[in-house]
Structure 1
Amino acid sequence: MNFLEIGLHSRKAISVEMKSVQKRLHIVLLLLAVFIALARPGYPIAEKVSTLLGNKVLFSCLFNGNVTKMSWMFNPILQIAAIRCDSNKMVLISNNSRIIIQSATCNTSKNEMNLQIEPVQLADDGNYTCEILDQRGVHRLTFSLAVTVPPDISFSIENKLDDTMVAICTASNGKPAAEITWYPNNLGNFSIDITHHSNRTTTVRSKYHISVHQFSEEISCIVSHPAFNGTKNYTIPRNSPALHDSQSTAKILFNLYLIAGVLAAFLCLLAVVHFTVRYFNLHIETAFRNCCASRSSQDISQSNGPFIQMENFIYDSFQPQKLR
């Protein structure tokens, strides 16, 4: 291999290495630009907020730098309020008394415009955007408000006619939907019915079908929801009046079935006796009629005998004598 070939191979290797270095440098510069953009003063950062129905919520919008205008928007085109920093004049567009601008400072080293909602209602659920206008353009900071609605919990027991009882646990009008579990969960079958309402709340109803003969311990309905500090438990004790009512109902039904069975057997026995007596009466009556008919024919034949003999004697007496 001569020196010319060695130089060509070296050049190619250097070219490939330079391209690889350039690609790496481009990636580093891009990441650095993103980092600088995110870290520069006044860059808004999105935030998620969750609060209970009826509470107070405060959205803070802070921005450093020379600001021309600040405003608040809802979902995302409904303007709530705006302030012009050149005239320091604020315009409150929303006429809802629950939504106010808690504080507004503009055209200073620290610009601030805070939005307060009190009390929070279910209709307030949505996105709130703080819009800032400065010499670099428009910047937006969005808060996603999730209103949590605690469900109303109710518990009831239904007694069935087949020795079963149904424990019903209902979490009504909650947001988000509640979770219902049972303990113990191996005593029968359970089902869950979920109903979604137009106001974005949900009702969850769970039914637990339990045989009263298997109910040997306490049964608990466990309801989980973000609005609760942990869970809420509703327990049916072993000596629950509802359970005793169910067992009493089962005993009453058993006794009624027993009485009905005894009555049915008694009626069947009466029917058999009735038809047996009629059968024997019919045979006795038939035999008696046959016997009476035979005796009557014999009596008639005996009573007509002398008359027939007399009739023959008279007939013979009037016959002409043959000449000898």
Structure 2
Amino acid sequence: MMRISQQARWCRRPASSRHARAALEEIWKTIYIVVLLTITAVTGATGNRMAAQAGHSTVMACPHRTGATMVTWKISPKIGGPCTLEFRADQNRVHRTNCSDSVKSEFQPEQFYALEIQQVGMADEGNYSCELVNQEGNFHQMYQLTVLVPPRLSLYCDNHSIPVCKAAAGRPAAEILWVPENSSMTEIDSHDNGTVTVLSRFTAHSTNRKTVTCKVYHATLNETMSTDCSSHSITWFLHHVMILGCLLSLIFLFALFHLYVFCDNRTMRKQ
């Protein structure tokens, strides 16, 4: 009986060993997945949203890694075709494909192979990605570039002495507020190039303040402008009175001339 029980225990050992190996494999699989996810998080692409003002320059950098053997910038603008800049350290050369002169990169390690766009324009808006290769692997950095256009501002009094505040051709659309806070009428006009013109009329007729203030809020600026359209109304009235007076004077002189001619003709007939 002792021999049989011992044999039974020896027969059961392989089964428990197989279970142990299966459990160990599951543990290693879990560790492997965790390591893969960690590597993906470290080396995977990360995206940054950037905004640059039109007419200014902007700089984007590659991943902060040393010992790069190859660096590649890929640009996918919303307008026009793709552009590629490729740098190989072993050859110390840069290969450009379909890139404008405003896109520059000196590919200096101390500058993290930064890409500079000079005189940013609407055509530069799009996606930018940098791939850096070194002995540790491949590293990516992605950017989504949005171009901001400051609006042209003006504040004036229309023909009816109503204050009008205008933010022309801005991107994105500007926000206009009035002081004192009263009702206003806003018109928005979108242009083909993506810019927007916002025009606001101060429609409040009863206010104790002669001077009204227009506040313009935009991603590129915050401006405050003031005007007094009451003086403009008086000037407009005097201007029209002067015009009317000149017309009446001309009519009076014309009538006086005809009266003189008429009287002179009658005198000549009597003689």
Give the C-alpha shift of residue 44 in structure 1. Answer: 5.0
Matched, 1:200 2:197: no
SS of aligned partner of 1:38: helix
RCO higher in structure (CA 8 A, sep ≥6)? 2
What is the match of residue 284 of structure 1? none
> What do residues 262-313 of structure 1 show as CA deviations (whole Å, max 9, x unaligned)?
xxxxxxxxxxxxxxxxxxxxxxxxxxxxxxxxxxxxxxxxxxxxxxxxxxxx
What is the match of residue 92 of structure 1? 96
Matched, 1:227 2:217: no
> What do residues 16-62 of structure 1 show as CA deviations (whole Å, max 9, x unaligned)?
xxxxxx9xxx6x996775455434xx655322222222222111113
- Write out aligned runs for 1:1-324 (5 A): 34-35=37-38, 37-39=40-42, 45-64=46-65, 67-75=68-76, 78-105=82-109, 112-133=112-133, 139-160=139-160, 165-186=161-182, 189-211=183-205, 214-217=206-209, 218-228=211-221, 231-237=222-228, 240-245=230-235, 248=237
Give the C-alpha shift of residue 93 in structure 1. Answer: 2.4
Q: Contact between 1:72 and 1:80, CA under 8 Å: does it hold in 2? A: yes
Give the C-alpha shift of residue 81 in structure 1. Answer: 0.9
**1:177 aligned partner, one-letter code:** A
**1:203 aligned partner, one-letter code:** T
Q: Contact between 1:169 and 1:207, CA under 8 Å: does it hold in 2? A: yes
What is the match of residue 6 of structure 2? none
What is the match of residue 299 of structure 1? none
SS of aligned partner of 2:113: strand
SS of aligned partner of 1:150: coil
SS of aligned partner of 1:102: coil
Within 1, Cα distance between the matches of 2:111 and 2:166?
49
Unaligned runs of 5+ in 1: 1-21, 253-324
Give the C-alpha shift of residue 97 in structure 1. Answer: 2.1
Give the C-alpha shift of residue 128 in structure 1. Answer: 1.2
Name the CA shift for 1:237/1:156 in 2 (closer, same or farther; >3 Å). Answer: closer
TM-score, scaled to structure 1:
0.54
**1:207 aligned partner, one-letter code:** R
Within 1, Cα distance between the matches of 2:175 and 2:70?
46
Give the C-alpha shift of residue 141 in structure 1. Answer: 1.3
Name the CA shift for 1:216/1:243 in 2 (closer, same or farther; >3 Å). Answer: farther
> What do residues 73-100 of structure 1 show as CA deviations (whole Å, max 9, x unaligned)?
1116713311234433321224522211
Name the CA shift for 1:30/1:206 in 2 (closer, same or farther; >3 Å). Answer: farther
Within 2, Cα distance between the matches of 1:221 and 1:111?
44
SS of aligned partner of 1:200: coil
SS of aligned partner of 1:123: helix
Give the C-alpha shift of residue 204 in structure 1. Answer: 0.7
**1:225 aligned partner, one-letter code:** H
Give the C-alpha shift of residue 170 in structure 1. Answer: 0.7
**2:127 aligned partner, one-letter code:** N
Q: Contact between 1:62 and 1:111, CA under 8 Å: does it hold in 2? A: no
Name the CA shift for 1:66/1:103 in 2 (closer, same or farther; >3 Å). Answer: closer
**2:96 aligned partner, one-letter code:** L
What is the match of residue 306 of structure 1? none
Name the CA shift for 1:185/1:169 in 2 (closer, same or farther; >3 Å). Answer: same
**1:178 aligned partner, one-letter code:** A
SS of aligned partner of 1:176: coil
TM-score, scaled to structure 2:
0.64
Within 1, Cα distance between the matches of 2:133 and 2:192?
37
Q: Contact between 1:122 and 1:147, CA under 8 Å: does it hold in 2? A: yes
Q: Contact between 2:45 and 2:141, CA under 8 Å: does it hold in 1? A: yes
Q: Contact between 1:67 and 1:111, CA under 8 Å: does it hold in 2? A: no
Give the C-alpha shift of residue 115 in structure 1. Answer: 1.0
Give the C-alpha shift of residue 175 in structure 1. Answer: 1.2
% identical aligned pairs: 24
Unaligned runs of 5+ in 2: 1-25, 242-271
Q: Contact between 1:71 and 1:79, CA under 8 Å: does it hold in 2? A: no
